[in-house]
Amino acid sequence: MITESDLRQTLIELADLAPDRCDTFQARRPAAPATRSRHALAAVAGALVAAAVVVAIAIGSPAGHSPHTHRSPAGHGTASSAGSISPQARATLTAIVRADAAANGDPDAPADAVLTTYQGLEHNNRRYFTMLVATFATQKRPVAAPADPLWVVQLRGTFGDGNTVMTTFVDGTTMRELAGTAGSDPPGAAERQLAMLGPVVHLR
């Protein structure tokens, strides 16, 4: 005989499954193949930051980079193509770099810069922007730090089902696979979006 008390207890047991918070990227990563080590993740993050710095330098170069487009197919741009990035990508990268700087100094600046940039993006670009920043932030600082809930929510909340996108991205999935993972997007949409952010994406 199952009683209401049993039902309550069962629901409590289910509730106990809940994580303590909307946790960090690593904590919620699906069981990854053994070949995908933390070292690989760290390398990705390091490359990402390095790319951001490179691009930021390019953006800030007095020589100026005219917005001529020489984007390679499917976003396989290189860091040297920084001059071709769109205004959105520029803003993205600038925000990342600011976050990087702020991570070493002003703890409030990252959220400020990132949110400002985020809010200026079109809806479709937000997910990918978020993906990049979350990837960066996960490696640079404890994303789910209780003292910084806003940061967490803003990064994670925009993902929705796109959470998988971030995971596969950091794991080194190809952009075509990424496009498929993006779910409802039509074929190529993710590639186009990511191509806009080519200099960073390339450094997976």
Partner 1 sequence: LTYVIRERRTDVTFESFMTEYQRPLLRFAAALTSDARLAEDIVADVLGRTYERWARVSSVENPLAYVRRMVVNEFMSRKRREKRWAVSPVDDGRIGTGPDHASAHADREALKARLADLPQRQRAAIVLRYYEDLPDGEIAAVLGCATGTVRSLISRALSTLRVSDSDGGSSVPTPNAPSSARIDEGSR
Contact assessment for residue 194 and residue 75, using Cβ atoms and an 8 Å cutoff: yes
What is the rounded end-to-end Cα distance, in angstroms, of the chain?
A: 56
Contact, 137 vs 155, CB < 8 A? yes
User: Applying CB under 8 A, which of residues 67, 142, 157, 188 lies at the interface with partner 1?
Assistant: 157
Burial 29-47 (b: 16+ CB within 10 A, else e): eeeeeeeeeeeebeebbee
Among 64, 149, 187, 188, binds partner 1 (CB under 8 A): 149
Residue 156 interacts with partner 1 (CB under 8 A): yes or no: yes
User: Which residue, 92, 96, 97, 70, is CA-closest to 81?
Assistant: 70
* Min separation Cβ 198 and partner 1, Å: 26
* Nearer to partner 1 (CB atom), residue 7 or residue 57: 7
| Sequential DSSP letters for 22-47 | S--HHHH-----TTS-HHHHHHHHHH
Which listed residue (45, 120, 141, 159) binds partner 1 by CB under 8 A? 159
Stretch that binds partner 1, among 4-12, 41-49, 80-88, 91-99 (CB under 8 A): 4-12
Nearer to partner 1 by Cβ, of 23 and 42: the residue is 23
Minimum CB separation from partner 1 for residue 40, in Å? 22
Answer for which of 8, 60, 64, 188 binds partner 1 (CB under 8 A) is: 8
Told to check if 122 binds partner 1 by CB under 8 A, we report no
Residues 125 and 158: beta-carbon distance below 8 Å: no
| Residue ranges in contact with partner 1 by CB under 8 A | 1-23, 28, 30, 108, 111-112, 115, 146-154, 156-161, 163, 183-184
